[in-house]
Structure 1
Amino acid sequence: MTLDIGTRLRAVREARGLSQRELASRAGLTNGTISMIEQNKTSPSVASLKSLLDALPMPLSDFFADVEERSAPKYFYAPDEFTELSPQEAGFGDGAARVSLRQLGNASSHTIQMLHEVYPPGADTGPEMLRHAGEEAGVVIAGIVEVTVADQVRVLNPGDGYLFDSNLPHRFRNIGAGDCVIVSACTPPTF
């Protein structure tokens, strides 16, 4: 799924009755930054977009939610049916643009959010630490990743995992020479 971030952000902001100035103040950004994002002239990192959505408030999973209606429950998903929550297909910029965070199904309809994450060499979640309600856990499938949670930093290899309170500041960064692949879950779906 490809999404026009600027148009979507403007629609969500306006639906909540906020001006660009009010959203900028809540998110700790400038009014000009909000304007540039809404015009698709600049792209936020994953962490910056998360800060903007926290100011609305809206989980990242809802921002990218598939609004398509289904007559029958859907239990199985092919790879092309995952929803891309990350910069790779959404058009964000620089280093974060290479991260792929693919969500299984519509997390806003469930109590768990499952992600298939791919971090190419040097890619990370952005310079700002992420924070959101809930807990998250994951297992490294391939490659290596440096994970920072609060004041702890650890390099994880294939087979290693993590589990932490997502309210703690955290960040993921591939410090290896190849892609890092992680399968993760967040509950409730607040990312």
Structure 2
Amino acid sequence: MNERITPPDDGRASDPHVGSNLRNLRKAKGLSLQRLAEASGVSVGMISQVERGLANPSMRLLTSLRRALNISMQELFGDVATAAPSNADPHFVRRRENRPVIDLGTLHKELLTPTDRHHLQIMILRLEPGGESGGKALSYPAEKGGLVLAGKVMLSVDGEVAEMTEGDSFVFDSVRPHFLRNSSDAPAEVLWIIGAVQFDRHL
């Protein structure tokens, strides 16, 4: 996997929280940068840049690292379950103000799924103009679906391309190579659902 190291378009470094999470999780697994690079197909240099908050990782790159580390989506977001006070919400609820967010420059991922680990993951993807899921197609075991909440996006699945606008929905097998892109001049939002991710079943 070849990833270009580029700064965010607005000159900001990537969310350092993502990088520090990855570094801590890698160390907790007892993996060196080299071993994680071999397992994920991401270069040592790119992993180091991400961990130090010097590069904006794509969704594709984060997926590769998450799979190699065998971690849940919540762990990637730094969303760890803790003992809840007696007046806390039920475990199946996540309040709007408690949604963790990963800022990937032109792509923002907001986790809607509660803290408990689930095979079903629900997010809101916010794509700025030109934002995309990584440029190159993703492919791994999962069911994916979604709903365009605002704006326009282009979804490519196994070479088939669909231009979608607000209110349009989709479902596909994630084993088929795919990527998402906002080619318009306005921001877009997509409700993004991932189900039955096999490598999470053993966590």
Please tell me the TM-score bracket, short chain as reference. 0.7 to 0.9
Which residue pairs with 2:178 in the alignment?
A: 170
1:12 alignment partner, one of 25, 29, 33: 25
Q: Quote the Cα distance in structure 2 between the aligned partners of 1:177 and 1:42.
A: 24
Which string of whole-angstrom CA distances, capped at 9 and with x for unpartnered residues, describes residues 146-184 of structure 1?
Answer: 001112111112221110112222111112232222223
Where does residue 54 of structure 1 map in the other structure?
67
The two structures have a TM-score, normalised by structure 2, of: 0.76
| Cα displacement (A) at 1:107 | 5.7
User: Among the aligned pairs, what percent are the same residue?
Assistant: 28
Equivalent residue number for residue 82 of structure 1 = 99
Q: Name the residue aligned to 1:35.
A: 48
What amino acid is the match of 2:24?
Answer: A
Q: Distance in 1 between matches of 2:42 and 2:93?
A: 40
How much does 1:106 deviate? 3.0
- Normalised by the size of structure 1, how large is the TM-score? 0.81
Given that residues 156 and 162 in structure 2 are in contact (C-alpha distance below 8 angstroms), is that contact kept between their aligned partners in structure 1?
yes
Q: Does 1:112 align with 2:120?
A: yes
CA change 1:139–1:36 in 2 (3 A) is closer
After superposition, the Cα gap between the structure-2 partners of 1:121 and 1:37, relative to the gap in structure 1 and judged at 3 Å, is closer
Asked whether the equivalents of residues 81 and 115 of structure 2 are also in contact (C-alpha less than 8 Å), the reply is no
Larger helix percent = 1
* RMSD over equivalenced CA pairs, Å: 2.4
Instruction: Choose from 178, 183, 187 the match for 1:179.
Output: 187
TM-superposed deviation, 1:75: 4.7
Note if 1:161 corresponds to 2:169: yes
Q: Check 1:6–1:17 CA distance in 2 against 1; reply closer, same or farther (3 A cut).
A: same
How far off is 1:47 after superposition?
Answer: 1.3
Pairing 1:63–2:76 present: yes
Gaps of 5+ in 2: 1-14
Q: 1:102 aligns with which of 92, 102, 110?
A: 110
Q: 1:108 to 1:152 in 2, by over 3 A?
A: farther
Aligned partners of 1:32, 1:143: CA distance in 2, in Å?
Answer: 35
Q: Is the 8 A contact 1:112 1:185 kept in 2?
A: yes
The aligned residue for residue 149 of structure 1 is 157
Distance 2:91 2:195 in 1: 20
| Closer/same/farther in 2, CA of residues 164 and 34 from structure 1, 3 Å limit | same
Rate the CA distance shift 1:168–1:60 in 2: closer, same or farther, 3 A.
farther
